[in-house]
Amino acid sequence: MDLKILPGLKGPADLKKLSVGELPVLAADIRQAICGQIMKTGGHFAPNLGVVELTIALHYVFDFAWDRLLFDVGHQCYPHKLLTGRYPMLPTLRQTGGMAGFPEPRESDYDLFSVGHAGTSIPTAVGMARGDLLNNEAFDPQTNPKGRCVVALIGDASIVNGVAMEGMNNAGTLKRQFLVVFNDNGMSIAHPQGALAAYFDRIRVNPAYRKVKRAAKDVVRHLPGGSLIGEMYHRLGEIAKDAVAEDAWFEKFGLLTVGPIDGHDLPTLIDMLLEVKQVDRPMVLHVHTVKGKGYRFAEGDATTFHSPKPFKVQNGAELHSEGCKVELASGGRSFTSAFADAMIDVMERDEKVVTCTAAMPDGTGLTKVMQTFPDRGWDTGICESHAMDMMAGLAKTGFKPFFAVYSTFLQRAFDQLFQEVALQGLPVRLCLDRAGLVGGDGAVHQGFCDISLLRVFPKSVLMAAMDEPSLRGALEFMRLYDDGISAVRYPRDNVSEMFAQTQCPPFVLGKARPLLEHDQPDAAILGYGVMAIQAMNAIELLDSEYRVNVYDARFARPVDANLLSSLIRREIPIITVEDHGIESGFGSCVVDACVDLGLDTRLIRHLAIPGRWIYQGARKDQLEESGLDAASIARTVRAVVDTPSRERDVPVITIEPRRVETKSPIR
């Protein structure tokens, strides 16, 4: 790569030495570096391309070694990381021990929070703003010009999230500088949904929001601090064309509002930020950006290139050329694709089945489903709590709702799941994509606690799919289960073909499926979901002298009580294996069931995600680190079988998972 400025940039101090005229060259460097890396390893592409100039301008004006910068979601932080001394880490992006794909305080003091969920930047920024006030460190243009400024960056899809609005409601009460930079690109992963998204669409095209200098002065004269803002417009001249009208939506929250301005015009951005930095009250700077900016193929298909796999240019074309087309790396059939086809099949057979997702139609496979059934499938936008309550309402009116949601985002709807679903005895069906270890997205997206959350609800039924036929079987069971919540979990991975040619028996409540059985086994493995496939792989690594039964457990609630009774009464050691946190997961369900049955639990060993954070890396590396790969399972079998029965006293993991040390943080 022919980078001109970026390799020599050691941090924001070097950035501030550049002239404004040199900054577009730096912007081009950043885009080229990000593109070159993601072509090789995959990662968040279009979100980062869209905020290059905005991020440069923010670091050019503010000093975030002292000031506060809070990211929302955080998947647009690559330019920020490159500007804060982490360019040498870029080749390790999203890899084990390398640079995280989200803000990560372990890497740098410039990252204030590990974030990966939407809506959090404004509330956490309000907290830091109040803390700085209490510490007498808050910026004030008159009394403390060297104090800390606070900036929260949030996108138009995230701002509809309930916690973001709660944050704005409180931000409007602050008596100090507080800047919300509203990154309005008309996209999240998919197109934002709802009335507020339509409102922002109207702002972008409505000439009434493009005021001339005189009209803008008339507007700000009626706002708190109007004389200060009016003087700002006087100095900025033509930028005043972008003043938002007096009835701007944000001003209902008590936030002064300026914009929308061009988020790719560096001189305008810098001038505007220099001015709004001096405002001594909460305000919003509305910035219009283009997701995927700089590469036509990404601008034209920002959904596909939100977080693509590695890709290459077709026919040797130039990336910037008009007709450039790229080819994404091909892989096997994913669980997400399998779910989409299975869901369509269920909906074709039952007109009462409806479905929704919360801003993840592509990520969950529902794009294909909603194209087939546009009147029975919805994308609610980034609002899992609303989506859950909407599903409760549909269940109450006699429909069979299936909510497709990432396991990590299910957490955001726990209260609604408790109050409006479980407490009412409503049969809402949960399809939990990205369950377990998720690879490059790392700790912020690991789906490690869905069993823990869901098992507390009476009459809930919890399942896991080990392959595509079992996923179809679980969905069919859920379609017919009307006594309460039901859920099926599956990973961000490809489906196994190991049992593709074998008849998949229907799901029967609380019954496991035997995959490999011996009359006199030395041990038995209960694999939950895809861990049953890992267990079968482990058998291949064991010597033939070990006779091990392997079961696809299928159910965490209720577990197969008859199977447990049979194994333990015959003193056969049991190893539970799950891609879930060890606390209150599938293994705990097994032990609790044995206690209820009066069975000896000393024969039970657990393999699960250990009680520490597992950071970014390849999913196979994360499984190895957690002791869940085939080799680790095989070692555990050997240890259990070769241990005399009198020494089997404590039901704990016998093999310590491999620890992976991260690189030294950049400070």
Residue 29 pLDDT exceeds 70: yes
The tokens for 367 are 């794009």
Interval 413-447: pLDDT, tens: 999 999 999 999 999 999 999 999 999 999 999 99
Dist. CA 517–CA 501, nearest whole Å: 18
> Where exactly are the structural domains of the chain?
6-288, 296-328, 335-489, 514-647
State the number of CA atoms in the 13 A half-sphere of 252 facing the CB. Answer: 5
The residue that leads in pLDDT, 230 or 336, is 336
The mean pLDDT value for 291-302 works out to 88
Listed range (307-311, 467-471, 530-534) with the worst mean pLDDT: 307-311
**3-state SS, one letter per residue, for 131-185:** HHHHCCCECECCCECCCECEEEEEECCHHHCHHHHHHHHHHCCCCCCEEEEEEEC
Dist. CA 53–CA 59, nearest whole Å: 10
Mean pLDDT of the chain: 88
Residue 240 pLDDT exceeds 70: no
Dist. CA 320–CA 324, nearest whole Å: 7
Same fold, 6-288 and 514-647: yes
The mean pLDDT value for 33-62 works out to 95
Confidence (pLDDT) at 316 = 52
Dist. CA 5–CA 7, nearest whole Å: 6
Interval 608-659: pLDDT, tens: 999 999 999 999 999 999 999 999 999 999 999 997 654 544 443 333 444 4
Confidence (pLDDT) at 188 = 46
pLDDT more than 70, % of the chain: 85
Q: What is the DSSP letter of 69?
A: E
Task: Grade residue 85 by pLDDT with cuts at 50, 70 and 90.
Answer: very high
Task: Grade residue 323 by pLDDT with cuts at 50, 70 and 90.
Answer: low
Which of helix, strand or coil describes residue 525? strand
Residues 6+ apart with CB under 8 A from 363: 189, 336, 357, 406, 433, 434
Neighbour count for residue 472 (Cβ, 10 Å): 20
Residues 6+ apart with CB under 8 A from 426: 392, 395, 396, 420, 484, 485
Q: What is the DSSP letter of 421?
A: I
Confidence (pLDDT) at 626 = 97
Interval 496-509: pLDDT, tens: 999 999 999 999 99
The mean pLDDT value for 251-261 works out to 87
Query: Which ranges in 288-413 belong to alpha helices (H)?
Result: 296-300, 335-349, 361-364, 366-372, 384-396, 407-410
514-647 has CATH 3.40.440.10 classification: no
The CATH code for residues 6-288 is 3.40.50.970
Cα dihedral across residues 567, 569, 575, 581: positive or negative: positive
Neighbour count for residue 420 (Cβ, 10 Å): 21
The tokens for 164 are 């973001």
Neighbour count for residue 415 (Cβ, 10 Å): 11
Residue 34 pLDDT exceeds 80: yes
Residue where the block lists tokens 């892989």:
331
N-terminal to C-terminal alpha carbon distance within the chain: 26
Task: Grade residue 559 by pLDDT with cuts at 50, 70 and 90.
Answer: very high
Residue 264 pLDDT exceeds 80: yes
Confidence (pLDDT) at 245 = 40
Q: Which of 254, 257, 258 is nearest to 174 (CA)?
A: 254
Residues 6+ apart with CB under 8 A from 571: 603, 645
Residue 95 pLDDT exceeds 50: yes
Residue 600 pLDDT exceeds 60: yes
Residues labelled catalytic:
291, 384, 412
pTM (two decimals): 0.87
- Architecture in CATH of 335-489: 3-Layer(aba) Sandwich (3.40)
Interval 372-412: pLDDT, tens: 999 999 999 999 999 999 999 999 999 999 999 999 999 99
Residue/partner pairs of 29-33 with CB below 8 Å, 24 or more apart: 29/3, 29/4, 29/5, 30/6, 30/56, 30/78, 30/79, 30/82, 30/83, 31/293, 31/294, 31/295, 32/1, 32/2, 32/3, 33/1, 33/3, 33/6, 33/82, 33/87, 33/90
The mean pLDDT value for 159-188 works out to 90
The mean pLDDT value for 544-562 works out to 96
Strand partners, 463: 488, 555
Confidence (pLDDT) at 299 = 86
Residues 6+ apart with CB under 8 A from 366: 340, 343, 355, 356, 357, 360, 377, 379, 404
In residues, how long is the chain? Answer: 667
Task: Grade residue 236 by pLDDT with cuts at 50, 70 and 90.
Answer: very low
Interval 117-149: pLDDT, tens: 999 999 999 999 999 999 999 999 999 999 999
Confidence (pLDDT) at 417 = 98
Query: Which ranges in 411-505 belong to alpha helices (H)?
Result: 414-416, 450-454, 468-480
The tokens for 526 are 């209960």
Q: Using an 8 Å Cβ cutoff, are 246 and 221 in contact?
A: no
